[in-house]
Structure 1
């Protein structure tokens, strides 16, 4: 019974959690109220069949009974000892014509089960798989039966699915006094009112099969009306087959555990006060039980962990809760309260630990009998170990939040629930107050919905919220009639219209519809039913944003569309959500078009998912399962590309390299290596000439049955797996002979990203590529003492061959200052099948525009060499001399050679990495230099 020493640390962690929780993205919401007398504020109304039937009081539930995947409605009319089942499929058919369902019309219900007269049959009903055949069965309470000569002993009926599904169509009436119409009937002791409320179906003994927990709130085993709760394991249930099995729980062989209340009129199990949850997170189910009428303690809630439950084996175990060894924690309300009047267990603060939600209809704030609902976080009670611990919630440090009702209202009258109403991934709170007087209707009653965002505004303990203050709740639904008593033990939630959201089922027991006094009505309010469709979204983009458009339709919603949001690569409610815009400027109706400016900043290349959700005036969001979504590929990276060259004059190509090609073809063929794009894939290639698209739409994929394709404007050949060859075929696309061009290849991926090769030069029957329009001649003046004056100014004057006698000639010439001059010498190989490279070297011109290249390795006599000389100026222009042949042998040099050799006397010889070459250092300024050179009529 001692608290752990880590109290301060735990409190710190809780406060830290709340700080983080408050930072989570949430929409601010002002509370809304809905008057159910306005038919636009509900979707379905089911009316009792006659005056005094008080339909929906105590008994509302929803589940799939007929196994068609649609949730059905199960609602009781206690004074008529009747339980109605309306299948989801029938509901859909009825709603095509009307939203009001009158149970006086047999075609408006599927099955009507009628119990013994005056038995309060249907005062409690639950739906679950009891016999473990994966089909839902019925558990129905009839608290006032008198079987076994025991007055007001009460009974609980179990009806297996096989009996229910024996009926088809509508208007079926089942007489529950006929033993053939139920499988098992458990009967209580005299005056115990077995089945009055709070039946539960769950696997308590951890064997994978459901057990049942049923109550007799006025049994008197410990003290008068102390109340009892029976636990009946599946091992007992399975002993009964077929129909008509009657089991007297006065015999201790027919139950496993019986928990008995601790004091006078405790009424253990009275109203909806049982929860079976793993509250200590040990993987086993625990019992949380309320006894709201314990006058000595002001009401009580027991936490009985599985560690206690598992100590009892076999049958007939009677467990007195007056013994402190038989419970772990007992929460008490204080003097003159009804603490424990409604119990729910859920995680309300998002720490993945279960918390408590407990009603107290007689707590005294705001004058006597105002009532209240306590929220007690796990950190308040998980400090306690062992058994017999007691927590008094009259101490404000022992609860976190308390909702306080209006004076004399007795909030919450037996039912509190928790469920995620607004689809934000955290449970919300629902409770009723059947005595509220809103809309000038006394005791019309109200249902309050409190979103978790309201709770998150408060930290620590002892926070009191007056429910009369609209900031204390998110939504309020008000009863239609004076004295209608909306929400009097009449509340359920489930997804009725199969849209993934929890809808609200709320009863008004004394509703007077159809001129029937207190016939009762069940209102069903869809939780923002809507659909989201996407109209336009990019499947592939490279941009920093794109526009997505869509439509939200919510014509069945009682609320308007308030907004639409999108999120990238986020599959749940958390994460970053971004607001979209209404196409007409404002979200204010039940049908809206929207557009979203989707930012792709920060995304990696590849496939991404964008999800969309809508929310309504109450900030209730699209259910996660119904988020609209689409996939798109983001590709912001240019494709990989590896370039080779064009074809043309093969000799000239081989002699000048890949970056500068000479050809005679005016429709040249371009060759390039295939590239790739890992994300979006390649869309096409383009050939650009002088920065303009010359050949477009070159398909990157070869046809499956051949290696080429012919388009209207081009031929494409796929050379194996690596190269593509392409050339234009129309005369209008011919390049101009005698002109040089800059060309490149562009790879374009499917997202529109592109990568260009570096530009290369293509010369159509010209030896110059002058793009800067500067004067740029190249002249070879002398080779090995032979004056020649070969110049690019007159290429046609250059002979095809030349004889010299010097075996280590020097090549002298003129080109603009700063030019790079390249000499390339080749010869035929021995097999006459190609050429061997003899020399390839580059020199620079001096400030006098002169260059000289001296061969140090001898050339062979009687051998024909191929000479190529080219120059590139600082502006990147190119010029070359036409190729000519050089034969070594014959007469010596001329006088001009002697003059040149005198001018370029090799005072400094700088060796290069090219074997057999000395680059003659040109003269410096001020040296004895002949600065004038003439060719034909032109001198410089």
Structure 2
């Protein structure tokens, strides 16, 4: 941790001598309008939605909107459709067989109860074949694979058994066309869908899926699948490596309709991309990157969120692999600048690559850009606030470090500790009509509006340059925030863009897989039309409800090896209080812990060395009384000595 103060700003104190140090005041977070509150523009509060927010709610136990994606025009009516994954649905008496809902584009823009989807002509449901396969864990659409003019979709069932290979995983290609009523794949005609089966037991093929516009130069869309628990088997990779993960680009779907694909048979129309580091889990996320390097062929994005890079455990990585007309096996350890490049997470536990997405051109340089989610990243002292890294299209580098992107991109930084911003990311189209691509970032664990775990999604507008975007102080010119309706909804678990779903222009989709109303664990998705409503900014506390006393004795003091700070809990008792003092360079030199702090008290931090000239930072963390203080996470107070 590094304190944001200038060196030499703290006067020298002889060891064992008393010296009073002034502490900045106004770091209290009370219950009214706390001094440390931040004002963030709210485009939509889903507890009070307006006519531009459409709700699509699932059936009992579905966890609908666990995944969301544009479906293209599945029924041929000229309006874009939407596909929602519900991997825990139990239709046909098959527990956790899973389902997906295809929802037809809405004109007018009215709500949908997925329980009545087919009977009201709003779309149809597709049910998984076997119990426990979790059909709908991944969904992708927006392309016409077989050339019949209807949008097709790909659905992942990562726990499915294929040819006796337990949990090898399966991806189903379901072809579009007019339909009436639910489709049970266990009884569907064989020409209604195709199967792509995993290579080995427990590969979990289909954990992620995408459709690419053209990654081989043949002007035909391709299928991209992730198998994050596959073991490497590529020459040049260590065969003992486990859970390195793999991704598969399956081409030629138009000519092969009706013929299943067995990835273990090394078919000639599959490009295989294998991880090479134990447990990096390549393929945990995949996406169509667009044309990143400007060669006219689409490129690929692969996430590996548990990779250990640069001595940072679980920092994560993402790979940009350039498209080419090639059907071969490639170990990503052999990546060269002509084949692609790698982006590494900024810190231990960041999990960069948990989510990845192509954006289009966000900075106006005519190359496709990418966004990479790091939900575990810390932002300053805010642990797991999360971040999303935007990487501009390029060809010049083999490796990038999200900690020091330079001119290669910029970061979007989470607002509060534990928000997990970046757990889901997607392009948002051009939401503000300025000609630049925008992004949507999910923060499913945010606690805004005193609703613990309600979640939020942020739409961030495209921009030039490398300056970071702070979600804690997002301004209307830079984007807006969407807040979940109820505690525990987890809005932002999934996000997407369904352009054309409500007529011309982009529609942002945000999923809340744990919505419990009107049915337990039904899940819901919200479709939001372009434009920001004129909703007043809301204020919410982001720091610990603790203040430093100003009265006599209200100064920090170094005395006989202790740094003493008199404080007062302003919103009821605080549990599990921990305070630590850090040097300007981020080295901890003293600490203390208190099981429970109520009212006024002095925090005595035992020092391991004497205070010297320079800036010091004290970080106090703890859990406020949930009965009196909104939010459920441990919060922090930061004191800087100048």
| TM-score bucket (shorter structure) | 0.5 to 0.7
In 1: Cα distance, 2:288 partner to 2:254 partner: 23
In 2: Cα distance, 1:72 partner to 1:513 partner: 24
Which residue does the alignment assign to 1:511? 515
| Secondary structure in 2 matching 1:322 | helix
Which residue does the alignment assign to 1:77? 86
Q: Does 1:340 align with 2:353?
A: yes
Which residue does the alignment assign to 2:155? 140
Which residue does the alignment assign to 1:522? 525
Deviation of 1:479 (Å): 0.4
Q: Is the 8 A contact 2:147 2:254 kept in 1?
A: no
Which residue does the alignment assign to 2:593? none
Which residue does the alignment assign to 2:236? none
**CA RMSD after TM alignment:** 2.7
In the TM superposition, what are the counterparts of 1:163-178 in structure 2 within 5 Å? 164-165=177-178, 167-168=179-180, 171-176=181-186, 178=188
Of 282, 287, 290, which residue of structure 2 is paired with 1:274? 287
Deviation of 1:106 (Å): 4.2
Which residue does the alignment assign to 1:115? 128
In 1: Cα distance, 2:534 partner to 2:351 partner: 36
Deviation of 1:67 (Å): 0.8
Which residue does the alignment assign to 2:167? 152
1:227/1:179 CA distance change after superposition, 3 Å: farther
Deviation of 1:447 (Å): 0.7
Of 210, 213, 229, which residue of structure 2 is paired with 1:202? 213
1:420/1:220 CA distance change after superposition, 3 Å: same
Of 358, 361, 368, which residue of structure 1 is paired with 2:372? 358
Which residue does the alignment assign to 2:625? none
Query: Which structure shows the higher helix fraction?
Result: 1
Q: Does 1:383 align with 2:383?
A: no
Residues 839-867 of structure 1 deviation map (CA, whole Å, 9 limit, x = unaligned): xxxxxxxxxxxxxxxxxxxxxxxxxxxxx
Which residue does the alignment assign to 2:115? 103
Deviation of 1:37 (Å): 1.1
Residues 734-789 of structure 1 deviation map (CA, whole Å, 9 limit, x = unaligned): xxxxxxxxxxxxxxxxxxxxxxxxxxxxxxxxxxxxxxxxxxxxxxxxxxxxxxxx
1:124/1:176 CA distance change after superposition, 3 Å: farther
Q: Give the structure with higher Rg (CA).
A: 1
Of 301, 319, 342, which residue of structure 2 is paired with 1:330? 342
Which residue does the alignment assign to 2:627? none
Gap regions ≥5 residues in structure 1: 1-28, 529-556, 561-940
Deviation of 1:519 (Å): 0.7
Of 287, 295, 311, which residue of structure 1 is paired with 2:300? 287
Q: Is the 8 A contact 1:269 1:291 kept in 2?
A: yes
Deviation of 1:484 (Å): 0.6
In 1: Cα distance, 2:149 partner to 2:399 partner: 40
Which residue does the alignment assign to 1:211? 222
1:520/1:370 CA distance change after superposition, 3 Å: same
Q: Is the 8 A contact 1:206 1:284 kept in 2?
A: yes
Q: Is the 8 A contact 1:355 1:375 kept in 2?
A: yes
| Secondary structure in 1 matching 2:50 | helix
Which residue does the alignment assign to 1:193? 204
1:73/1:288 CA distance change after superposition, 3 Å: closer
Deviation of 1:202 (Å): 2.6
In 2: Cα distance, 1:393 partner to 1:432 partner: 19
Which residue does the alignment assign to 1:582? none
* TM-score normalised to structure 1 length: 0.47
In 1: Cα distance, 2:75 partner to 2:156 partner: 21
Of 389, 414, 420, which residue of structure 2 is paired with 1:410? 420
1:175/1:256 CA distance change after superposition, 3 Å: closer
* Highest RCO, 1 vs 2 (Cα 8 Å, sep ≥ 6): 2
Q: Does 1:240 align with 2:252?
A: no
Deviation of 1:335 (Å): 4.3
1:482/1:240 CA distance change after superposition, 3 Å: same
* TM-score normalised to structure 2 length: 0.68
Of 267, 271, 288, which residue of structure 2 is paired with 1:257? 271
Deviation of 1:417 (Å): 2.1
Of 311, 318, 330, which residue of structure 2 is paired with 1:319? 330
In 2: Cα distance, 1:399 partner to 1:201 partner: 24
Which residue does the alignment assign to 1:436? 446
Deviation of 1:246 (Å): 3.1
| Secondary structure in 1 matching 2:472 | coil
In 2: Cα distance, 1:190 partner to 1:125 partner: 22
| Secondary structure in 2 matching 1:476 | strand
Q: Does 1:39 align with 2:54?
A: no
Deviation of 1:527 (Å): 2.1
Q: Is the 8 A contact 1:512 1:519 kept in 2?
A: yes
Q: Does 1:299 align with 2:316?
A: yes
Residues 671-708 of structure 1 deviation map (CA, whole Å, 9 limit, x = unaligned): xxxxxxxxxxxxxxxxxxxxxxxxxxxxxxxxxxxxxx
Which residue does the alignment assign to 2:485? 480
Q: Does 1:228 align with 2:228?
A: no
Deviation of 1:383 (Å): 3.5
In the TM superposition, what are the counterparts of 1:778-797 in structure 2 within 5 Å? none
Q: Is the 8 A contact 2:209 2:223 kept in 1?
A: no
In 2: Cα distance, 1:104 partner to 1:48 partner: 10
1:303/1:106 CA distance change after superposition, 3 Å: closer
Q: Is the 8 A contact 1:501 1:527 kept in 2?
A: yes
In 1: Cα distance, 2:135 partner to 2:101 partner: 11
Deviation of 1:256 (Å): 2.5
In 2: Cα distance, 1:200 partner to 1:413 partner: 21
In the TM superposition, what are the counterparts of 1:542-561 in structure 2 within 5 Å? none
1:267/1:414 CA distance change after superposition, 3 Å: farther
1:400/1:147 CA distance change after superposition, 3 Å: closer
